[in-house]
Structure 1
Amino acid sequence: MSNSSSLPRSVEVIRYVTPLREGGSLPAIVEADDDFLYVLKFRGAGQGVKALIAELVAGEIARTLGLRVPEIVFAQLNEAFGRSEPDEEIQDLLRASEGLNLGLHYLTGAITFDPLVNKVDAKLASQIVWLDCLVTNVDRTTRNTNMLIWHKELWLIDHGAALYFHHSGQNWEEQSQRPFAPIKNHVLLRQATELTTVDAEFKAILSPDRIQEIVSFIPDEWLANESFMETAEENRQVYAQFLNTRIAHSEFFVEEAQHARKALI
């Protein structure tokens, strides 16, 4: 689980272990041909490949920024997989997900982050809040923190709800310059007292070249049915431009977060 910027590894799913029914997309724990367990996010689930794109891009941005994210892999699901699955709902999901899916290394023994028990220092809280403002992640609240404690360290998971501009059908260029109002519900907002410092540090790390490298990881087949542009590469560049514009105008979302925090205290 390094911070390497190289292309994510590819694995083949060989065994369906158990469903994770916490969310509506029915992710599952699976075993791959490298003998590791992964939490598999299915392309055939409700939000389709858009959720996989968000998971990949937001996760790799987080890793670039030095935050802990389980290793992300491309996971191939062949057409024969799941034929013996007795659960019809799961079998339908497996059939709809043949091809390239996304897996995250399963953190065996990890426990769910509890804001009443687990303490996060101001710098780390500010880093996570800044990240979620950038990628417009609406899903890190007290109701669903999407963070785990593993070996006494904080790990970020489940970024499929990020980059929600690609679901809305609205003008992505306009949305790229908007503040992020849902930050008022962020589980770590109260502790995020170092946003100005983090903003300067993270903007220096997330260069346009690095953003371009991250979006280059998005497989063409996941971009083929996007509605922004005609080609996969043009659609890929929409993600790059969206992110680069938000980074260049980060003062909008930083100020929004600071105002929302002041309203809490």
Structure 2
Amino acid sequence: MRMDWWTLSLQTVNAIVLIWLLAYFFFRPIANVIAARKAAAAQMIEEAGQAKAAALSMREEEKAALAAAAERRSAALAAAAEEAEAQREALLAAARSDVDRMRDEARGEMTRQLELARDMQTKHASALALDIAKRLMERFPQSSLVSGFIAGLADAAAALPENSKLDFEEDGGVRLKTPRALTPQEHADCRRALEISFGRPLEFSVEINPALIAGLELENRHTTIRNSLRADLADIAASLDDHDRG
């Protein structure tokens, strides 16, 4: 077989031209398209990654915001609970204070009522004792209303300190209180007994006071000497009152 080199050469040239044409007009555009699509895909992947990163960042921010909100809510609830507890304690303290005050006021009022009742009973008893004493003394001779008390009055005057005795002697307003008018003899007996007690004559005026019931009382502007049934009954009532209070 004889090879036609000229034909082979033409075919080789044709093949080379065809390959070049295909490479220039077909493979290069396809490669460019592929490269462009590859670049677009890479960009899309990058943008997707950025979007994913942004989404993750937003998610973390949301978590942080939710955690901060939960923390603020917990702090607010704790503060509200603490304030409520403080208010409750304040209300309880105020209530206890009111209860203590009301109890103290009730006790004070009860004490006042008891004291008032006791004073009324004492006054009633004193008035009753005075009435009984008056009725009893009405059964005794009138002389016993004075004569039996002269010596006791003189003894009380003699027991006074010296400065009090001098006060009686120098004071021109000395009064001798009696339950009734004195007889001349009773007046003389009183003057003589007081003269012995003070060591010198004592000037006095007589003042009638039936409230004494029986007895005598000597007084000036500063001192009073009591030797009367009224004074004795008052002392007894005061002693009973002190005993009740004790």
- TM-score, scaled relative to structure 2: 0.20
Question: Looking at both structures, which has the greater relative contact order when contacts are Cα pairs under 8 Å and sequence separation is at least 6?
Answer: 1
More helix by share: 2
